Amino acid sequence: MGVVAYTVRRSDRARRARLIVTAEGVELVVPRRMALAEAAELVREKRGWLASQRSRLRRAAAEHPPVRVDHGAQIPYLGEHLRLSVRVEPGRRRPFVRRTGDALTISVGSQAGDAVRETLERWFRERARVEITERLDAAAARAGTSYSRLAIRDQRTRWASCSANGTMSFNWRLLLAPAAVLDYVVEHEVAHLEVPDHSARFWALLARRLPSYRNAQRWLRDHGPSLRLE
């Protein structure tokens, strides 16, 4: 592997440098005061690992390409597939999305730019709040715990997180995965309300609550890069 192209992001929360590899490229996250020369050494040391990760992402993209938002496309929704119908209505100011059974209709004033994709993403964000709230409330109740609030995000590298103050953040793209995968991520974050780290105690707790979690974990690892709209 030759020269590695990467971007640098300084973080007040980072305690050490770490590399994030996505379909868009390589990002180096470093603590606010770390010298860039020191961080760059990590990139040099990890060249082999970076090559293998990028190769894995390319294979995943080839086997499971991102979701196209063309007219007639099949849009995944928690294991279902909705047939997309795009209607262009000149003069329409506000895009509109309607689901009827397994049909998903988007009405836009123009298909210029990313109008259809952006409209569909907004719909997915709204649905994510509904789908995740139901699951999160139920999981927290079963665990005998509670959270402070729910945030729906568009994170490039994380599927979900649980903050120290109980804020639960979830990536709307999880709705492009099967329902069992979303259920796993919800249970994972609820377990963090009790055990904040990924210690053996955490995984034992998650296994008791969701014995089959490894299946969903593997699915997300293998298919995660394809959970995006194009």
Per-residue pLDDT tens over the stretch 140-159: 999 999 999 999 999 877 89
Per-residue pLDDT tens over the stretch 31-90: 888 888 887 888 888 888 888 888 877 776 676 778 899 999 999 999 999 999 999 999
What gap in Å lies between CA 187 and CA 135, rounded to an integer? 9
Cα distance from N-terminal residue to C-terminal residue, the chain: 29
Task: List the one residue out of 106, 97, 163, 159 whose CA is nearest residue 132.
Answer: 159
Q: Domain residue spans in the chain?
A: 7-63, 113-226
Domain 113-226 carries which CATH code?
3.30.2010.10
Whole-model pTM: value is 0.80
217 neighbors 203 (Cβ within 8 angstroms): no
32 neighbors 12 (Cβ within 8 angstroms): yes
